[in-house]
Structure 1
Amino acid sequence: MLESIRKHSKFGMILLFLLVIPSFVLVGVDQSYFSESSPIVARVDGHEIKQSDWDNAHRQESDRARAQAPNSDPRLLDTPQARYATLERMVRDRVLTAAVQKMHLGVSNTRLAQTLQDIPAIAALKRPDGSLDAEAYRALVGAQGLTPEGFEANVRQDMALSQVLGGVVQSSFSTPEQLNQAMDTLLQRREIQIARFTPQDFSAKVTPTDAELESYYQAHTVQFQQPEEATVEYLLLDLDAVRASLTPSEDDLRTYYKENLDRLAGKEERRASHILISAAKDAPAAEREKAKAQANELETTLRKDPGQFAALAKKNSQDPGSASAGGDLGFFARGAMVKPFEDAVFGMNKGDISPVVESDFGYHIITLTDIKKPKAPSFEEVRPKLQAELLQQLAQRKFAEVADTFTNSVYEQADSLQPTADKLKLKVQTAQHVTRTPAPGAQGPLANARFLEALFANDSIENKRNTEAIDIAPSTLVAGRVSQYEPARTLPYAEVRERVRALYVADKAGELARTEGQAKLQAWQADPNSANRLAPSIIVARNQLQNQPRALVDAALHAPADKLPAWTGVDLGAQGYAVIKINRIVPREASQAAETAALQQQFDQWLGTAEGMAYYELLKQRFKVQIKAPRPTS
């Protein structure tokens, strides 16, 4: 039976093809067939956003983020929070699009053209006459996978969307009184005194028994877990490694020397004088013709008597920087002058007088007065430099070839890195106590999240196989393997007893500090004169912490101060407890005029942003936004 099916399988495939394909040709493929089962995750103005839409949008955003930062941890792009942020952006875009349609907002061609011209990359494509280089523009937007029409449609759409909230945000303003009230609250200062009750002050009072320590250990075993770790081997292939395997021959060095002799010698410099008849490039044609005619007359005169060049330059040249020196410009190399002028000078022989040369500045008559050719260094003088340059070039050319060998070898001989190391003359490096996340201060491959993720993949851990070759930086590949693996485990009590004791003492001492602090707060509130351990007064503000914990300053500023002195307390966690006495309110420092103007501008921006967010919430209500996907917890 099976043999019969095998013999006739080709016939069966052809029959199925003839039966199935015509049905698609006749009725077509309904896109909803593939997306019908995708659940709805949000609705905006009656339009659905499905799970498949969300997945596609997040994939595109992740691809863009990876392209911009290839060395970033890819796991950060696929967290529940990152995915939910993509959904919220999709909803926002749909809300603004609906608002544009309902408000009949649009962008004129004139405004679109002005916006495009304000984009630096496009502005750089302008020709001297002000027209746009159409081919360069097409290539620029083509690099983004768009046609000019598609790019302009996207820009027009973005401009229309920005009008929805832009009118609210940009029209926001505040009065000086509002600013002063907000800044007085934000930058208020208070004179306070502090009494600190730290756990260290109470540590000696804590004498735990073995039973208490063991009970603490059992209740806090999560604190005594040792994360999984591995001993790993890895191979690093970069330009330095490739360069170390290369040795250029003497003939190669001497050939490279000859090919680069002009560059090594430095730039040739030329000395020239000129007579300039000024004519701006945007001057009327008649004005430029008049200037050109004057230059032609001077050229004719100089052809008859070249010796009077300096005298004619002093009398006629309209270059204020060189006319008084007979037109002398001194020595200069290529790149120092405008191109038409430079081309003329470096195409002349010493003593020549040029025809009239036109540039953006007008019309020039030029004479070449001297040539300074730098002395070429000897081969031995530049040998170290030549060798370094040639090795770098050879390494860059060789890297692609070696990278292929490296990639194939670590895959084909996956049980060991040594064959690849021997083949490419690389050194197998080892590291101990490697964890899934980069350790503080880690460098090189062990600081790369992608490499660590590959090392701790199931195949690498269970089968001790090489990872694939991973690109961790430009011209840098790494492959590794786990030689020894220790899974995560809870350390036994006997091994961590001293650590348990230290944590228990710190915990109980913190409780005693809080209890003492709270008791003192009640006592001093009842009898302020009994307060006997307050530190000297200091003035604190949100922007003047005075080396105090943020929580302490916040507590001092949030406490009611309608009756002074006032008292409050704050739990500082591992730092214990603090009792705060508020003596007086200190007005904020007067601002200079420039600082006040900057504060007003900043406050208007804050106010505009808040009003924009509030308006967006109203739009969400108007367009009946429903987000069905649950918001992930942070």
Structure 2
Amino acid sequence: MQLILLVLILPSFVALGVQGYSSFSDGVGLKVATVDGHKITQGDWDNAAREQAERMRRENPQMDPKLLDSPEARQQALEGLVSRRALETAVQKQQLMAADGRVASVFRRSPTYAFLRTPEGQPNKALLAAQGMSSEGFAERLRQDLGLQQVLAPADMLPRSLKLGGKLAFDALLQQRDISVKRLEAQAYRDQVQLGDADVATYYQLPATQKRWMQPERAQIEYLVLDAEALKQRVQVNEGELKTYYEQNRKRFSTPEERQVSHILIKLDAGAKAEQEAAARAQLEALQALLRSDPKQFAALARKHSQDEISAASGGELDFIGRDFNVKAIADAAFALGKGEISPIVRSEFGLHLVTVSDIRGGDVRSFEDVRAELETEQRSELAKKEFQTLSEQFSNAVYEQADALQPVAEKFQLELRKAELGRVPAAGAQGPLASPKLIEAVFAPESLKTKRNTEAVETGVQQLVSARVLKHVPAAAPALDEVKEAVREQLLMERAAALAKKAGEALLAQKAEELSYDTTVTVSRMNPHGLPREALNKILLASAGSLAKPFGVDLGTGGYLLVRLNAVKPPSEQEVPAKQAEQQYAQALANAEGLAYLEALKAGYKAKILASPAKAASSP
């Protein structure tokens, strides 16, 4: 259970590939959720959505990029972020942070982290650095992971034997029922219905009908968007500054040189006596003499003589290493060698080594022409951010001072004046400003609707300000009958036809059961409904087994009426759901339900609340 929740909710706490969810400090301050009184900002949300997209892209490179930044994906990222914050709060409140000794013990003993340990049991700094982490950062992440495991422990309290529960659950869910049915279609009774205009008008005025046809309140608006993304295309890029930056940061555009290294180790303690070191050195000198005559023997000699238990089996190979390799003596020796050369004997904290280099890669520097587009994009982003900071206050003042129109503001700031229709709830698939709760709140504020003046400039995303003006306000109301008369007539016609079908069906039920005839006999189940509507299938499956051979009716609404006779109740097909599979699926479903219920209880206890909709912070609607 802990593993399931950690995989679903906490992918960042598996120790590698983590940048940390505590670094969301560069986003805007717009509050989108709260946990235990602490806010989660729009910037936090954007970072979480970006990290989620990157992780999903790594796991499934073929995934459609649009799915990674959809409103549904952003909502999932926000819910996951709220869950993480609730769990982190629980760790702090319940004082479950692991002590240093516990962290060290788990690292040394757990097979999960074996690949991160050096032969001496220390963190492999080179591997951690490749993931953008220091050994201290890794230890802190492991400490958090252990704390979270303790928080999640109560969710792992399911019964050990689920065989009976699985059988009962799947028997009830997937049992089969043999039935005879007769269907009275409402369509067959249409010709018996007579409607006049007065009937339609009276029906349309009924509260239930009015509610059915009610169109939501909406506002037709014009609006302006000032954001850094749009400003990118307007800023001027300085060619000289691009070249200067390139020259000052050439290292950034170079591929670090790496060397494929193998070594032979003779272990030697730091406090070894002189005669012990002399013996070890003599052993390596003998091997060195053999290698001078035939360097190709290195792998064979390493397998036989090296005391590095991990690399000896692979001929002493350490794979490609950089200059920052965690054993400095080996790195220094390797980068002083040419391809195929053997080093002098070198001393490290582990003992004496012979080192050889079998291959060299990297060290190339990309030309300015190759990276120019990348540098230009970066400079445009930076300049656009500065431009936005400069213009944001001016924009806010302008929409306030020129309160009765947005066109002059659009001309002053060279912005496109856009038009849209908004409801109090974002439309399905809405993105950008039109999905922002803050903009919707500003548009439907009583003052905005009454005066039709510009709203204040509201922050709808990262470095994004929007002001809108209501052009027309349409209150929630049903349309005039003339606009929908034919559709209303058809609706009333089918309702009355269905009523006649039901009346006919009930008359048949009043007859003797043996006098009823049926159209067909079928075996239905949830896996094979034979075209029955869900409501009808549910009623049939919920009917008491004691009502065998006793017909009953199922109202299908405007679909008509169904006469049903229950002939037999059968268990699920073993071929469809094998017993072992049923037990496993039941256990999985129960575990998921228990885990999610526990998480929801935890969030409720810390008053976790989501305040924003799954809007995509973007400059376009």
Shorter-normalised TM range: 0.5 to 0.7
Q: Secondary structure at the match of 1:557?
A: helix
Amino acid of the structure 2 residue aligned with 1:255: T
Aligned pairs (5 A) from 1:208-607? 208-219=195-206, 220-272=209-261, 274-277=262-265, 296-297=281-282, 307=292, 310=295, 313-314=298-299, 316-318=301-303, 332=320, 334=322, 340=328, 343-344=331-332, 347-348=335-336, 350=338, 353=343, 356=346, 358=348, 364-368=353-357, 371-372=360-361, 376-396=365-385, 398-431=387-420, 433-523=421-511, 525-528=513-516, 530-531=517-518, 534-535=519-520, 537-562=521-546, 564-590=548-574, 592=578, 594-598=580-584, 601=587
Q: Structure 2 vs 1, CA of residues 371 and 288 (structure 1 numbering), >3 Å: closer, same or farther? A: farther
2:169–2:586 contact (8 Å) kept in structure 1: no
5+ unaligned residues in a row in structure 2: which ranges?
1-32, 50-70, 76-89, 124-133, 602-621
Identity among equivalent pairs (%): 28
Amino acid of the structure 1 residue aligned with 2:544: P
What is the TM-score normalised by the length of structure 1?
0.61
Deviation, 1:246, is 1.4
Deviation, 1:200, is 3.3
1:517–1:578 contact (8 Å) kept in structure 2: yes
From 192, 196, 200, the equivalent of 2:187 is: 200
Amino acid of the structure 2 residue aligned with 1:197: L
Deviation, 1:383, is 3.7
CA distance in 1, matches of 2:367, 2:103: 56
CA distance in 2, matches of 1:314, 1:461: 81
- Can you list the C-alpha shifts for 1:294-323, whole angstroms capped at 9, x where unaligned? 764466668899835826734542479987
Pairwise CA RMSD: 5.5
Deviates most, 184-193 or 593-602: 593-602
1:234–1:478 contact (8 Å) kept in structure 2: yes
Amino acid of the structure 1 residue aligned with 2:187: Q
What is the TM-score normalised by the length of structure 2?
0.62
Amino acid of the structure 2 residue aligned with 1:598: Q
Q: Structure 2 vs 1, CA of residues 412 and 210 (structure 1 numbering), >3 Å: closer, same or farther? A: same
CA distance in 2, matches of 1:328, 1:118: 28
Deviation, 1:237, is 3.1
Deviates most, 298-307 or 570-579: 298-307
CA distance in 2, matches of 1:463, 1:322: 78
CA distance in 2, matches of 1:594, 1:178: 12
- Greater Rg over alpha carbons, structure: 1
Q: Secondary structure at the match of 1:245?
A: coil
Aligned pairs (5 A) from 1:151-230? 170=157, 172=159, 180-219=167-206, 220-230=209-219
Q: Structure 2 vs 1, CA of residues 417 and 359 (structure 1 numbering), >3 Å: closer, same or farther? A: farther
Q: Structure 2 vs 1, CA of residues 345 and 420 (structure 1 numbering), >3 Å: closer, same or farther? A: farther
CA distance in 2, matches of 1:347, 1:406: 57
5+ unaligned residues in a row in structure 1: which ranges?
1-57, 77-92, 94-105, 144-150, 617-634
CA distance in 2, matches of 1:477, 1:117: 51
1:295–1:364 contact (8 Å) kept in structure 2: no
Deviation, 1:569, is 1.9
CA distance in 1, matches of 2:263, 2:429: 64
Deviation, 1:555, is 1.2
Deviates most, 210-219 or 309-318: 309-318
CA distance in 2, matches of 1:346, 1:423: 63
